[in-house]
Amino acid sequence: MPLHKTCRILIADDHEVFRRGLRCLLEGRPGLEICAEVANGREAVRIATELKPDIVIMDISMPELNGVDATRLIRRKLPSTEVLILTVHESEEMGRELVAAGARGFILKADDSGQLLTAIDQLCQHRPFFTARVTRMVLDEFVSHQADRDDRDGAEGRNEPATNLTGRERQVVQLLAEGKSNKEVAGVLSLAIKTVETHRFNVFRKLGIHSLSELVHYAIRNGLVEP
């Protein structure tokens, strides 16, 4: 389906070679304009707020702010801007988190370029697009999550905490997994060190982990940092 107007696109990915390749693929195609490129999540939010693109093509694993929280902030500030997730990660949990954050398109970097162009076309018309593989992944995770919640609700006398992390907790996870100390995390997020320590304690409790190495493995599995 042809595009009916110029669709302005912001590319957010921390790999310069990939950004250039994506620009080469999209530039020159009728109705598409690359308005900017950024290399981290915080810049994605700032530049999107400034330029108000029609679509942000977003990776999940980016420095400073991951794609999930960047998506949530962009959609909150710019409800008419669509976010298309383009990533190598196939985490079911992350797929659900991204949909909840407001992403309306999700494809994998392993998918062919035709899928990407179709996704852009659909999102420019404010129609969601998910490949069959991603749709199945997200639905499977939703069914599993619902079953777990029903089991918790039906267990007499049981009151286990939800494993879902808040946006702030996810930011703390990312920064800790990137090797930052509690003090450095506090500086980046403009928080008191005691607040960071509280978030860290809650994260460990929710995820059922007991060491920083386990936290790093969680962050890698869910696309918050790259190995």
| Token pair listed for 156 | 């007499």
| Token pair listed for 139 | 């639905």
Domain ranges across the chain: 7-137, 167-221
- Mean residue pLDDT of the chain comes to 83
| Token pair listed for 128 | 């969601």
Three-state DSSP at 43 gives: helix
- Residue 222: pLDDT band (50, 70, 90) is confident
- Higher pLDDT pick, 181 / 155: 181
Which one of 3.40.50.12280, 3.40.50.2300, 2.40.128.640, 3.40.50.300 gives the CATH number of domain 7-137? Answer: 3.40.50.2300
Model-wide pTM > 0.85: no
Kindly report, residue by residue over 74-133, the tens digit of the pLDDT. 999 999 999 999 988 766 667 777 888 899 998 888 888 888 999 999 999 999 898 776
Three-state DSSP at 118 gives: helix
Which one of 1.10.10.10, 1.10.260.40, 2.40.37.10, 3.30.420.40 gives the CATH number of domain 167-221? Answer: 1.10.10.10
Three-state DSSP at 45 gives: helix
Asked whether the predicted pLDDT for residue 205 surpasses 90, the reply is no
Crossing angle of the two packed helices 167-177 and 182-189, in degrees rounded to 10: 130
- Higher pLDDT pick, 12 / 148: 12
